[in-house]
């Protein structure tokens, strides 16, 4: 039987990517600007139903960093951040010399808990600093509690930086993720739902704000014949080659979303009958998830002593990749000295959660191997 590696999430080309890259070579637009960059931005704006402007950047991390710059986060400021996330959500807070304050998750969406969020705001204000921004994440493509988080943000007039790196193609009440924040962030890293090999985008409510982001992303060059600079600049623009891959990927984005959702349904049907195992699923029909990664939660007490680690190791022997959920930021050596608000939801998710192979390029054969491996484990 075929025993090649089944990956958690790997790049999946649609076919037209090379055509756009070839065009870049043919026209010698081998630079961090050009028709593919403009085309990719237009494709994304259309995909987001023209609710926002999009600036293509070198990575999602760069987009988060520029988002904080646009929100005027400076040294000494405080930024609230969902703890249950990838470190790229939080690192740019430190790039700015600001202080991260981490917030627990709630059980429905595994994202920012609005109650802990408000508690943190009240407490930080009492300590003398009003937080400058809120970083909210759509974990594994499941939208956070959009209305509850927005209500808290508005009550205290703190802007939201929406980390939608995992949620291109997800939506809430029909509105696309990426367009809910005061600024939004997308990622096209190799493992994401579409890829430019490496890349990202900043999503802004106005074209003027996008222009400002691109100004920062291209070394903050003032209007002058020589190189003149009045503000700190960055080299964060997407290259026209990467954008060529992105334009090809935009043609298959909806197909990727459908395939990832199919993987989620596949796991839901396998685990339906297994006590102590739950597949991470949206709380109700207002939420539409791209299910970038399918994740499960194992309750060892109800699952006959099965743990996520036993499962991970058993899958590994079958050459099937799986991975624990993101380790919360407040438990990371680099971040543990910063304040944290909430209880142990994020920690419990980390201890008992596992991400399973979710790629849009997995075959029927791959699914059969995964299913057999799981059923053998519970036999």
Binding site for ligand PLP (CB under 6 A): 59-61, 85-86, 88-89, 137, 163, 165-166, 187, 189, 200
Question: With respect to ligand PLP, which residue has the nearer C-beta, 85 or 96?
Answer: 85
In a 10 Å sphere around its CB, with 0-12 CB exposed, 13-18 middle and 19+ buried, how is residue 20 labelled? buried
List strands edge to edge, sheet with 323-324: 277-279, 294-298, 353-356, 323-324
CB-based contact 215:236 (threshold 8 Å): no
- Nearest approach, Cβ of residue 363 and ligand PLP (Å): 25
**Closest residue by beta carbon to ligand PLP:** 60
Residue 277: beta bridge partners?
298
- Nearest approach, Cβ of residue 175 and ligand PLP (Å): 19
- Nearest approach, Cβ of residue 166 and ligand PLP (Å): 5
- Nearest approach, Cβ of residue 323 and ligand PLP (Å): 12
CB-based contact 258:282 (threshold 8 Å): no
- Nearest approach, Cβ of residue 291 and ligand PLP (Å): 14
- Nearest approach, Cβ of residue 88 and ligand PLP (Å): 4
Question: With respect to ligand PLP, which residue has the nearer C-beta, 86 or 271?
Answer: 86
Question: With respect to ligand PLP, which residue has the nearer C-beta, 61 or 204?
Answer: 61
Question: With respect to ligand PLP, which residue has the nearer C-beta, 81 or 263?
Answer: 81
- Distance of alpha carbon 62 from its chain centroid, rounded? 13
- Nearest approach, Cβ of residue 17 and ligand PLP (Å): 18
Question: With respect to ligand PLP, which residue has the nearer C-beta, 170 or 369?
Answer: 170
- Distance of alpha carbon 140 from its chain centroid, rounded? 7
H-helix or E-strand spanning residue 354: strand 353-356
- Give the pair of three-digit tokens for residue 221: 């060059």
Question: With respect to ligand PLP, which residue has the nearer C-beta, 141 or 159?
Answer: 141
CB-based contact 124:131 (threshold 8 Å): yes
Question: With respect to ligand PLP, which residue has the nearer C-beta, 152 or 165?
Answer: 165
3-state secondary structure 103-156: ECECCCCCCECHHHHHHHHHHHHHCCCCCCEEEEECHHHCCCCHHHHHHHHHHC
In a 10 Å sphere around its CB, with 0-12 CB exposed, 13-18 middle and 19+ buried, how is residue 119 labelled? middle
Question: With respect to ligand PLP, which residue has the nearer C-beta, 197 or 220?
Answer: 197
- What's the rounded Cα separation, in Å, for the pair 199 and 352? 31
- Give the pair of three-digit tokens for residue 259: 């395939």
- Nearest approach, Cβ of residue 98 and ligand PLP (Å): 17
């Amino acid at each position: 039987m075929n025993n090649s590696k089944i990956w958690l999430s790997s790049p999946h080309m649609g076919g037209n990517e090379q055509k756009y890259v070839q065009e870049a070579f043919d026209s010698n637009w081998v630079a961090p600007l050009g028709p593919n960059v403009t085309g990719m931005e237009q494709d994304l704006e259309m995909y987001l139903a023209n609710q926002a402007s999009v600036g293509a950047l070198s990575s999602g991390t760069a987009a988060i960093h520029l988002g904080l710059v646009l929100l005027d986060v400076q040294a000494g400021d405080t930024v609230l951040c969902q703890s249950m996330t990838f470190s790229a959500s939080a690192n740019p807070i430190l790039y700015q010399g600001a202080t991260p304050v981490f917030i627990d998750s709630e059980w429905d969406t595994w994202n920012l808990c609005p109650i802990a969020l408000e508690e943190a705001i009240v407490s930080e204000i009492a300590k003398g600093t009003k937080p400058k921004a809120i970083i909210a994440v759509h974990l594994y493509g499941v939208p956070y509690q959009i209305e509850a988080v927005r209500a808290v943000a508005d009550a205290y007039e703190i802007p939201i930086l929406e980390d939608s790196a995992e949620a291109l193609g997800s939506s809430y009440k029909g509105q696309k993720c990426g367009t809910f924040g005061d600024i939004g962030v997308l990622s096209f890293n190799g493992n994401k739902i579409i890829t430019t090999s490496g890349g990202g985008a900043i999503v802004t409510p106005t074209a003027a704000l996008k222009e400002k982001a691109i100004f920062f992303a291209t070394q903050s060059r003032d209007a002058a014949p020589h190189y003149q600079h009045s503000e700190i600049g960055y080299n964060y623009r997407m290259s026209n080659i990467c954008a060529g891959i992105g334009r090809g990927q935009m043609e298959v984005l909806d197909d990727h979303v459908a395939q990832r959702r199919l993987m989620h349904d596949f796991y839901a049907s396998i685990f339906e009958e297994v006590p102590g195992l739950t597949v991470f699923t949206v709380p109700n029909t207002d939420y539409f998830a791209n299910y970038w990664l399918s994740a499960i939660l194992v309750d060892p007490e109800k699952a006959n002593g099965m743990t996520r680690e036993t499962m991970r190791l058993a899958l590994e022997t079958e050459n099937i990749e799986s991975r624990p959920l993101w380790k919360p930021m407040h438990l990371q050596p680099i971040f543990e000295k910063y304040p944290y608000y909430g209880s142990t939801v994020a920690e419990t998710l980390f201890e008992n959660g596992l991400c399973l192979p979710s790629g849009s390029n997995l075959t029927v054969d791959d699914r059969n191997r995964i299913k057999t491996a799981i059923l053998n484990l519970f036999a």
